[in-house]
């Protein structure tokens, strides 16, 4: 149930965030109705990325303070409100939709950091790959739905209907989310003691997957260090946190993954302009444009799911083990 709720939430948000990419174009699109120049279109599309980037790290901190459940609720609801205000704001000036798209980006920035923490509570170690791949597949599926459905909405009620439709989906999902979601299995009334024991069991002997002894020792050390930090003085604990953050940032895997994420962001920025290219340069109508953009996303969705299942299968067979190494340090050593 939690994975279904998470997946549908991601779909509503990715559909909402990708609306400008398609409805900006065409004879009935936003840009032609208000005679926006290409530079103005670029400012509107790019404003989402600025807001999205600024709230990634704060979103993770907010999720730790409020909990993933409340963070997701506030993020989706705020983004939906910005979507509802977009049609009327566009009639005022192109600056208003640019600001609203920036707010939409800020609202969606905490979504994935919050969901990562949520999945860590609900999924077992041998299920993390498929859980994360399902999130990315839902992200692609939301865009596919938007690119295929929006041309029909534009023909039916014009481009404002697309904004209203996806924003309304976000509001409905927010109301349902508070009923079905919980920050952890312990807090969910529908989780039985048997299910909780199965989720919290650290080793899955039935599937042949266990942590290597070295990782078990490191996990035990991390728990001891975290417990010591909680008991330390506030200023010492703060210095300890800064030291740990520096260690994480300087790790080579973190740098490599960050570079890959940056390149993926460049690909996303390029994809934002693909509908306009298909429409203005190749003279495709909106239906054909949406289909051309949706096809690669469908392939990506399938490969995401297969990749997650394969990764869990590889770990279950103990073919490889990904090891995260953290030096054994005490609080005093970390501070010094």
Residue spans of the domains in the chain: they are 2-335
Nearest to 68 by CA among 196, 187, 202: 187
Nearest to 79 by CA among 39, 54, 106, 99: 106
> Tell me, what's the pLDDT at 237?
45
Number of H helices, E strands in the chain: 16, 0
> Tell me, what's the pLDDT at 85?
94
**Of 204-213, 234-243, 277-286, 326-335, which range is least confident?**
326-335
pLDDT at 2 > cutoff 80:
no
pLDDT at 80 > cutoff 70:
yes
Name the pTM for this structure. 0.74
When pLDDT is cut at 50, 70 and 90, the band that residue 107 belongs to is very high
Fold of 2-335: Growth Hormone; Chain: A; (1.20.1250)
The arithmetic mean of pLDDT across residues 15-39, rounded, is 81
Q: Give the Cα separation of 252 and 279 in Å (integer).
A: 42
The arithmetic mean of pLDDT across residues 247-267, rounded, is 73
Q: Give the Cα separation of 247 and 153 in Å (integer).
A: 50
> Tell me, what's the pLDDT at 77?
93
| List of residues 6+ apart from 208 with CB closer than 8 A | 316, 317, 318
């Amino acid at each position: 149930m939690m994975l279904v709720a998470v997946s549908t939430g991601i779909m509503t948000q990715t559909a909402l965030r990708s609306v400008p990419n398609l409805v900006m174009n065409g004879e009935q699109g936003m840009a032609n109705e208000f005679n926006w120049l290409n530079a103005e279109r670029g400012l509107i599309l790019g404003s989402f990325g600025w807001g999205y980037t600024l709230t990634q790290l704060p979103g993770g901190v907010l999720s730790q303070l409020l909990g993933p459940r409340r963070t997701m609720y506030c993020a989706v609801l705020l983004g939906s409100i910005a979507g509802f205000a977009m049609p009327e704001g566009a009639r005022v000036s192109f600056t208003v939709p640019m600001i609203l798209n920036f707010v939409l980006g800020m609202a969606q920035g905490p979504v994935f950091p919050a969901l990562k923490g949520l999945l860590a509570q609900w999924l077992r170690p041998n299920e993390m790959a498929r859980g994360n791949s399902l999130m990315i597949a839902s992200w692609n599926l939301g865009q596919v739905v938007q690119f295929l459905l929006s041309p029909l909405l534009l023909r039916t009620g014009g481009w404002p209907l697309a904004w209203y439709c996806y924003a309304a989906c976000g509001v409905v999902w927010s109301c349902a989310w508070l009923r079905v979601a919980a920050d952890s299995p312990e807090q969910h009334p529908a989780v039985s003691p048997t299910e909780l024991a199965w989720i919290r069991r650290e080793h899955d002997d039935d599937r042949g997957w266990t942590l290597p002894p070295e990782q078990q020792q490191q996990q035990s050390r991390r728990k001891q260090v975290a417990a010591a930090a909680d008991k330390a003085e506030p200023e010492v604990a703060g210095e300890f946190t800064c030291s740990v953050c520096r260690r994480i940032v300087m790790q080579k895997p973190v740098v490599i993954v960050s570079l890959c994420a940056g390149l993926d962001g460049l690909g996303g920025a390029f994809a934002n302009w693909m509908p306009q290219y298909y429409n203005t340069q190749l003279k495709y109508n909106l239906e054909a444009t949406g289909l051309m953009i949706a096809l690669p996303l469908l392939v990506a969705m399938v490969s995401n799911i297969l990749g997650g299942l394969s990764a869990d299968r590889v770990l279950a067979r103990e073919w490889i083990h990904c090891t995260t190494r953290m030096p054994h340090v005490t609080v005093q050593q970390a501070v010094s």
